[in-house]
Amino acid sequence: MAYDVIIVGGSAAGITAGITCRRHYPGKSVLLIRAAKQVPIPCGIPYIYGTVGSPEKNLIPDAVLEKNGIEFLVDEVEDIDREARVVRTRSGKTAEYDKLVLATGSQPVVPPIPGVDRENVYTIRKDVPYLAQLKERMDVSKNLVIVGGGFIGVEFADECRKGRDISVTIVEMLPMCLAIAFDEGACSTVEEILTGSGVKVLTGTKVSSFEGADGKVEKVMLAGGQEIPADLVILAIGAGPNAALAKKAGLELGPHKAIQVDRHMRTSDENIFACGDCVETLSFFTGKSTALKLASISTMQARIAGANLFGNRRENPGAIGVYSTVVNGKCFATAGLTEGAAREMGYEVVTGEAGGPNRHPGGMPGAQDLTVRLICEKPSGRLLGGQVYGAESGGELINAVGACISTRLTADALALFQLGTHPALTASPIAYQLVNAAEQAVKQLHA
């Protein structure tokens, strides 16, 4: 078999790279090779255990490949012969390529904690049978401990209590849940919602071991000596790049042991591109490698790689980092830098914050409170970050904040933002949170 383009990896980055290639180079043949028969939607994994209800309802359909004229093969690529431009699979198949795209994703971090290999200690794998097994176990468990209070940990805690009589405890080593992504106000609100719904939240502490009998986990021991009953443990402490295939092929790796790419998403081999969680991600703010891993970043990189396969058409501007989640019906979303992160990078900053109903008047059906917080550089007023929490409409508003950051918009320009409003859809134009938060930042700039 010979193809113009072969893509290794069938999740968000691989699929997007293939679709983008077909859009820019419709005459090129594309083969996507993936190891798994079924591909889960990564961001939807926590919702398997509550809102969605099963792994089979959280899948990326194969129809998206067929619709875009992309062939696919369920197999695992084990070797790349860069000189001959040939890939070899586990089943013994070979395929020639003109251009190759590596989108091999990430794998969960497993900390070297004693007892981590005990039965019923799970990581978050993008593996449908494994996720189904975790659901079966969760359905009969009484005491769940989630190690990690980031987005995945918080989402699991919120979802797994739906329809179950189960005790849930989050153990987070940082001072607050979601502390990397949000400033204190939003973090406090998240924790209040979690504890109010019955989740126990233990922050500023570490797990020392997982204990039990007959190879099964029965309790989690904390560094301070406290023990927590646990017949199920979920490790939600992040993921590392899956760059083993690239390393085996002799491609250059970067400081995070991910595949090194340039701003065109080209690797150290001019005929091989890479995108997604397996690559070194550049920061929009520093131009240096960052550990950020998000589907939005992966697909952005994939659109660059797919467009550049047969000519440089796009350049990577760097990752801003735009996150959003829902906790007990409340949106928490963030883009760019927190105030703390900005100060650590050496920025002098001012902040602006505004809150109020997301409809006008506030008695309109569906009205919910929404708060916007902006972080701006001083004295330029350039927007560095923003956080939105409260009404679920904030999940879309944060994308506007991300766009403002990427275009280096200033607080003063944002204060003059011409917006479309409607009583049933948005906050009042007089009290529009995004604009009023910008006005508050301008006030601080001129103080």
Whose tokens are 């739906």? That residue is 162
Find all residues with CB under 8 Å of 42, minimum gap 6, and list them.
11, 12, 126, 295
Structure tokens of 330? 């409340």
Q: Are 384 and 378 in contact (CB under 8 A)?
A: no
**Residue 177 appears among annotated catalytic residues:** no
Residues 6+ apart with CB under 8 A from 245: 8, 77, 78, 80, 102, 104
Of 346, 292, 287, nearest to 316 (Cα)?
Answer: 287
Instruction: Determine contact, residues 294/322, Cβ cutoff 8 Å.
Output: yes
Q: Using only C-alpha atoms, what is the Rg of the chain?
A: 23
Tokens of 100: 């190759």
Out of 43, 177, 187, 278, the active site residue is: 43
In this structure, the dihedral spanned by the alpha carbons of residues 135, 140, 145 and 147, taken in order and rounded to 10 degrees, is -20
- Beta-strand pair 167-172/200-203: parallel
At residue 351, what are phi and psi to the nearest 5 degrees?
-125, 155
Beta strands in 60-176 (DSSP E): 71-74, 77-81, 86-89, 94-102, 106-108, 121-122, 143-147, 167-172
The DSSP H or E segment spanning 442 is helix 433-445
* Catalytic residue set: 43
